[in-house]
Amino acid sequence: MLYVFGGRNQKSPALDSVEMFDHWHGQWVQCPPLPSPRVSATAAVLPDGRMLLVGGYDGRGMVEGLLASCELYDPRARAWKVGGATPMLRARWGHGCAAVGGRVFIVGGCSLMPHAQAVVSNMETLRGCEVFLSGDDVWEPIAPLSTPRSGARAVAVA
């Protein structure tokens, strides 16, 4: 199955809708909505089959609405976990995300400069990376990228 979470369109600055493509029947199916709307989040599948939706921004925009929060969706129960997962160490959008061996890696993205007012001129492209240890529900920093980047994508290769 293929899932699509949130996003935006001409009518809404941030969507809370979730759709699943049922490849057996060739159609999109509505799923329970996100706990809160978000744009530019990333997602990964955990070893237990749940999906982790990470970061992004909400309807207030990419500065004021910057998110560190993470949501957990159980496709078998068709339900979101109340309270989600532990938030990332740093709020970000435009980050790369990949799952490897029970861990979810987050790389780069955009965020506010530390201790800065929430205005676009205070946004920075990140080198920083972090990893989510799903068994412990914790985030840990890892070595930074050599070059700051946002809008990049990551993929895990076995």
- List, run by run, the mean pLDDT of 10-residue segments along the chain (158 residues): 96 96 97 97 97 96 92 97 94 97 96 82 94 96 98 92
Q: What pLDDT was estimated at residue 30? A: 98
Q: Is the pTM of this model over 0.95?
A: no
- Cβ neighbours of residue 54 closer than 8 Å, sequence gap 6 or more: 41, 42, 43, 44, 70, 88, 95, 97, 104, 106, 132
For the chain, the structural domain boundaries read: 38-142
Superfamily of segment(s) 38-142: Kelch-type beta propeller (2.120.10.80)
Question: What is the C-alpha to C-alpha distance for residues 155 and 81, in angstroms, rounded to an integer?
Answer: 26
